[in-house]
């Protein structure tokens, strides 16, 4: 059963007058694989180990059952994370309105994160090799959230992952942010 997180009243009222100007969802393959490339390499290495163990006799054939289970355990975890990531991809939605961006995502229940343009301090586009081959990219938004880890302050970003045509979407978001800034400027601030 899928449940959707109910937005607080102040967020709902803020979105009543907003117009959705862009909606998108991530592409499945780059969304799933871009984070797990090292796991894919590990999968290939374990597969090669299992394959060569069956062809070349090692003298440990009686204990091969334990080795097989030890190899299959990380493979099972890897496949579970891929399946989980695929389910999250199918439920993920990105929206850009005239005042904010929204990210809906989740595994067992949807979480909605809305960030007003006034809160966004930085917007970036990154495209890794897998995303480049699939024609997608990641747009990251920094809204001032930080975390203290071992005495270092780390910025926490919100991400739109595996977005088709990331540079066009990035430009559109930046223009909408600029329009929102100009429209919300007070008369004192304008010359």
The pLDDT tens digits of the residues spanning 38-95 come to: 667 777 777 777 666 655 555 555 555 666 666 677 778 888 888 899 999 999 999 9
Per the domain annotation, does 32 fall within a domain?
A: no
pLDDT for res 65? 61
Please tell me whether residue 56 adopts helix, strand or coil conformation.
coil
Q: Are 148 and 103 members of one domain?
A: yes
More reliable by pLDDT, 190 or 50: 50
> Which residue, 48, 66, 86, sits at the end of a domain?
86
Q: How does residue 7 score in pLDDT terms, banded at 50, 70 and 90? A: very low
Structure tokens at 136: 């997608």
Number of domains the chain contains: 2
Per the domain annotation, does 171 fall within a domain?
A: yes
Show the domain range for 76.
Answer: 37-86
Residue 3 has pLDDT above 90, yes or no: no
pLDDT for res 5? 46
């Amino acid at each position: 059963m899928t449940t959707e997180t109910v937005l607080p009243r102040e967020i709902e009222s803020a979105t009543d007058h907003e117009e959705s100007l862009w909606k998108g969802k991530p592409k499945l393959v780059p969304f799933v694989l871009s984070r797990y490339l090292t796991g894919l390499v590990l999968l290939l290495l374990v597969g090669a180990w299992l394959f060569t163990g069956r062809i070349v006799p090692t003298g440990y054939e009686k204990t091969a059952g334990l080795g097989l289970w030890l190899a299959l355990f990380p493979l099972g975890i890897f496949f579970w994370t891929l399946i989980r990531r695929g389910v999250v991809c199918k439920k993920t939605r990105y929206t850009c309105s005239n005042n904010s961006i929204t990210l809906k995502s989740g595994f067992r229940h949807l979480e909605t994160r809305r960030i007003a343009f006034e809160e966004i301090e930085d917007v970036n586009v990154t495209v890794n090799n897998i995303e480049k081959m699939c024609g997608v990219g990641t747009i990251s938004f920094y809204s001032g959230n930080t975390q203290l880890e071992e005495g270092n302050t780390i910025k926490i970003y919100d991400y739109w992952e595996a977005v088709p045509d990331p540079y066009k979407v990035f430009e559109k978001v930046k223009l909408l942010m600029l329009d929102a800034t100009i429209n919300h400027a007070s008369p004192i601030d304008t010359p």
